[in-house]
């Protein structure tokens, strides 16, 4: 069979067009499918990185990426880690996946539903090599819920919510056992290896062994800076702790060393990308999973100041995340984006950059916000459902500059400056980009509460980012309209997936290891 000259020309045109679509899929950037390096810090507070203006804990390597990238200053996560990680993986609000209440405890027999298509599964369809390192926390009671059965070619890390940084054991309701895995294999040989350094080493190994003819998706979910087991909740290498002798509070001093270890580890990952000629075609995302556990909450010493509240609350300190995007593929960098963004937006945004069709998404709650990151165009997102917890009835919802908080507990609702700040005030303040720092006046003596007894609150975050003044009485029509929208979301909510503790999960039943037990 022969082809006419016209047919041959048409075929060539089609080939060229297909090539150009692939090459220009980043919205005007000449590149093949980009490598995607997705870095998640655990429990990192707003005020725990110097690119937000904190002089207490220098984070020079993170700062370099942030200040030469795009800092996301109007970006929201979930109040706690399992819901946030489910939102990253599915692009859906937790109320639509049943993950909206609490976190998965080690001996609870449930996980993120197997009916959900996850981020690595989407990217594998587009030809990506998919590798995970670090924390999972989306279920492991059955083998099918673990990472290498859900789209990852490899996964080295732990499946529970926390662990000892040195011996990699986890103590929770139901038992105490090892929680370190390489795919389906339990890892006993890394005792004494500090987890932050261990995970960065494994991430570097992935990069160095990667076949660069294929695009790479690397999900690096650090344990840092989550607290460990109750015996020694904060842990860091002694040489790094010694660097922060000026911080009088010992727990904050150790915490600063934990952040520093992560900062140094991220540099090793970026250096590996450069050495393997992958950096110039990579998108690096950095995000915390929730706000910081400040002032001793959860045995930790993070800081969200001047934002209000802590991890596990619906205040800005619990849900406004430290985040940035860094990539040589972005031409206009060194900026702070104030466009609205939610953690559910990562999946559609990255999937489209990888060459996918956004219509493939399974009823995603996220938006493709790449243009608002790259060019500061208006974000397609104008509202964020922060969460609805059907057990506590606590909820929060934001529309443009307005935010409502409903039935929130009064516990941990204050403003918590980092301890030991007085000892480091003589240090020069870090160089920050315009709008990267949130400033507020001194907190009021009487704290506005939004409990079941006091009623819902309405805050204007454009003028009151630290949530000092309840505007509910001044703008009743805005409050009622937002409450009505919140009710619509409640009507669309699926039941929570949480299950009671199962004694069969005890690691003693499997040789001292937290492993799939059903």
Active site residues: 81, 137
Give the SS3 label for residue 109: coil
Q: What is the dihedral of CA 155, 156, 158, 159, to 10 degrees?
A: 10
Q: Are 424 and 247 in contact (CB under 8 A)?
A: yes
Number of DSSP helices (H) and strands (E) in the chain, helices first: 11, 18
Residue 213, C-beta contacts closer than 8 angstroms, at least 6 positions apart: none
Residue of 396, 377, 376, 371 lying closest to 386 (CA atoms): 396
Q: Are 133 and 159 in contact (CB under 8 A)?
A: no
- Which residues is 459 bridged to in the sheet? 403
β-strands 154-158, 129-135: how paired? parallel
Residue of 301, 303, 379 lying closest to 338 (CA atoms): 379
Q: Are 416 and 305 in contact (CB under 8 A)?
A: yes
What span, in angstroms and rounded, lies between the C-alpha atoms of 384 and 105? 27
- Label residue 226 left, alpha or beta by phi (over 0 means left) and psi (-120 to 50 means alpha): beta
- Which residues is 285 bridged to in the sheet? 38, 325
Residue of 168, 128, 121, 173 lying closest to 147 (CA atoms): 121
Q: How many Cβ atoms sit within 10 Å of the Cβ of residue 468?
A: 18
Q: Are 340 and 379 in contact (CB under 8 A)?
A: yes
Q: Are 302 and 44 in contact (CB under 8 A)?
A: yes
What span, in angstroms and rounded, lies between the C-alpha atoms of 365 and 112? 16
What span, in angstroms and rounded, lies between the C-alpha atoms of 371 and 493? 30
């Amino acid at each position: 069979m022969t082809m006419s000259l016209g047919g041959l020309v048409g075929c060539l045109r089609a080939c060229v067009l297909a090539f150009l679509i692939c090459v220009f899929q980043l919205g005007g950037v000449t590149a093949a499918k980009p490598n995607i390096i997705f870095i998640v810090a655990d429990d990192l507070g707003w005020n725990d990185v110097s690119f937000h203006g904190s002089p207490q804990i220098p984070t020079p390597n993170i700062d370099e990426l942030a200040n030469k990238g795009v800092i996301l200053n109007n970006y929201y996560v979930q109040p706690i880690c399992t819901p946030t990680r489910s939102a990253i993986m599915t692009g859906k609000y937790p109320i639509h996946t049943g993950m909206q209440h609490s976190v998965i405890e080690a001996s609870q027999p449930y996980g993120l539903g197997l009916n959900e298509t996850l981020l690595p599964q989407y990217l594998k369809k587009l030809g990506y090599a998919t590798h995970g390192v670090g924390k999972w926390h989306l279920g492991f009671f059955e083998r099918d819920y673990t990472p290498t059965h859900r789209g990852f070619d490899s996964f080295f890390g732990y499946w529970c919510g926390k662990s000892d940084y040195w011996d990699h054991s986890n103590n929770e309701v139901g038992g105490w056992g090892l929680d370190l895995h390489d795919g389906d294999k339990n890892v006993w040989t890394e005792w004494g290896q500090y987890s932050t350094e261990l995970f960065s080493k494994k991430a570097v190994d992935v990069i160095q062994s990667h076949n660069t003819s294929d695009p790479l998706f690397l999900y690096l979910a650090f344990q840092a800076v989550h607290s460990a087991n109750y015996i020694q909740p904060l842990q860091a290498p002694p040489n790094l702790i010694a660097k922060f002798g000026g911080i009088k509070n010992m727990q904050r001093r150790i915490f600063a060393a934990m952040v520093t270890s992560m900062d140094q580890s991220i540099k090793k990952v970026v250096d590996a990308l450069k050495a393997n000629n992958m950096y110039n075609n990579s998108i690096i995302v950095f995000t915390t999973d929730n706000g910081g556990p400040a002032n001793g909450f959860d045995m930790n010493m993070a800081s969200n100041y001047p934002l209000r509240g802590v991890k596990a609350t619906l205040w800005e300190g619990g849900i406004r995340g430290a985040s940035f995007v860094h990539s040589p593929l972005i031409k206009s960098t060194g900026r702070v984006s104030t466009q609205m963004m939610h953690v559910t937006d990562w999946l559609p945004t990255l999937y489209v950059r990888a060459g996918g069709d956004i219509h493939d998404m399974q009823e995603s709650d996220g938006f493709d916000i790449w243009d608002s990151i790259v060019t500061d165009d208006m974000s397609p997102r104008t509202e964020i459902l922060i969460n609805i917890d059907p057990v506590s009835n606590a909820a929060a919802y934001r529309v443009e500059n307005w935010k409502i908080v409903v039935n929130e507990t009064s516990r941990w609702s204050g403003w918590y400056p980092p301890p030991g700040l007085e000892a480091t005030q003589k240090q020069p303040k870090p160089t920050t980009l315009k709008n990267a720092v949130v400033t507020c006046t001194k907190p009021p003596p009487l704290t506005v509460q939004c409990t079941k007894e006091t009623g819902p609150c309405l805050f204007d975050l454009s003028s009151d980012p630290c949530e000092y003044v309840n505007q509910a009485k001044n703008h009743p029509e805005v409050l009622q309209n937002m409450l009505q929208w919140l009710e619509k979301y409640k009507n669309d909510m699926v039941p929570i997936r949480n299950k009671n503790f199962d004694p069969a999960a005890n690691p003693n039943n499997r040789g001292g290891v937290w492993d799939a037990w059903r």
